């Protein structure tokens, strides 16, 4: 009976790994919508969602560091959930994928832009912001996918590693703030990304 149960367990694990590998590809595909939409030349009005509050927020070039921390945080989240949280990985992957898909669709239906600031100076922070500005166009602003993903990442990390709750909450808050101080997004973009990220995370976690 022992070899038989081992074989069943092995088959079950292989099936789970196959499903999770498929979900990685699905999530990456759904998130590829945003870079594609960013390259589209939309006809008609492209909305500017700047508020009075945005005009009072200064450029703080040092915030490019937490802005860029988003990328290793994103990578770490995918790797950790896939390797150590196989049971929760499907919800995580679907949530992250849906955020990319929904954000892309919103920007197709309601195109937005957030003009970048002119960055002076030759320090490393200024150079990093100018470098990142050059990677894409100042479109696809609302809602902020940076913020949506960060909320989703922190939501799932709060479930699996609640003892580090201050770290996960702090990362999400810092990344959200960085999008404002680097002039990548407006306040409404951040609020929209936060709401979408939280809603999607809560809903997928119910299944």
Q: What is the pLDDT of residues 76-101, one digit of tens each?
A: 999 999 999 989 999 999 999 999 99
Q: What is the pLDDT of residues 114-133, one digit of tens each?
A: 999 999 889 999 999 999 99
Query: Other C-beta atoms within 10 Å of 133: how many?
Result: 17
Residue 35 pLDDT: 87
In 35-90, the DSSP E strands lie at 47-48
- C-alpha to C-alpha distance for 49 and 113, rounded to whole angstroms: 8
pLDDT of 46 over the 90 cut: yes
* CA-based torsion, 155, 156, 157, 159: positive or negative: positive
- C-alpha to C-alpha distance for 203 and 207, rounded to whole angstroms: 7
Residue 111, both tokens: 């195109």
Q: What is the pLDDT of residues 187-202, one digit of tens each?
A: 999 999 999 999 999 9
Residue 124 pLDDT: 97
C-alpha separations of 46 from 104, 179, 194 in Å:
14, 20, 22
Average per-residue pLDDT for the chain: 91
C-alpha separations of 64 from 108, 111, 125, 176 in Å:
27, 25, 6, 11
**What whole-number percentage of the chain has pLDDT above 70?**
93
Helix (H) or strand (E) holding 112: strand 112-113
């Amino acid at each position: 009976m022992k070899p038989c149960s081992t074989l069943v367990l092995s088959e079950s694990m292989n099936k789970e790994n196959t499903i999770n590998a498929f979900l990685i590809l699905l999530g990456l595909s759904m998130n590829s919508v945003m870079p594609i939409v960013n390259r589209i030349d939309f006809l008609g009005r492209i909305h500017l969602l700047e508020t009075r509050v945005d005009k009072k927020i200064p450029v703080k070039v040092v915030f490019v560091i937490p802005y860029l921390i988003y990328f290793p945080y994103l990578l770490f989240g995918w790797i950790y959930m896939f390797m150590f949280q196989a049971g929760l990985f499907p919800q995580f992957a679907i949530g992250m994928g849906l955020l990319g898909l929904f954000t892309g669709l919103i920007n197709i239906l309601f195109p937005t832009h957030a003009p970048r600031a002119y960055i002076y100076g030759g320090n490393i922070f200024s150079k990093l912001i100018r470098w990142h500005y050059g990677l894409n166009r100042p479109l696809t602003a609302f809602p902020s996918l940076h913020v949506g993903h960060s909320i989703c990442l922190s939501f799932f990390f709060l479930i699996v590693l609640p003892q580090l709750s201050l770290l996960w909450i702090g990362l999400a808050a810092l990344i959200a703030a960085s999008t404002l101080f680097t002039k990548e997004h407006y306040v409404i973009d951040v609020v929209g990304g936060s709401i979408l990220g939280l809603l999607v995370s809560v809903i997928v976690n119910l299944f």
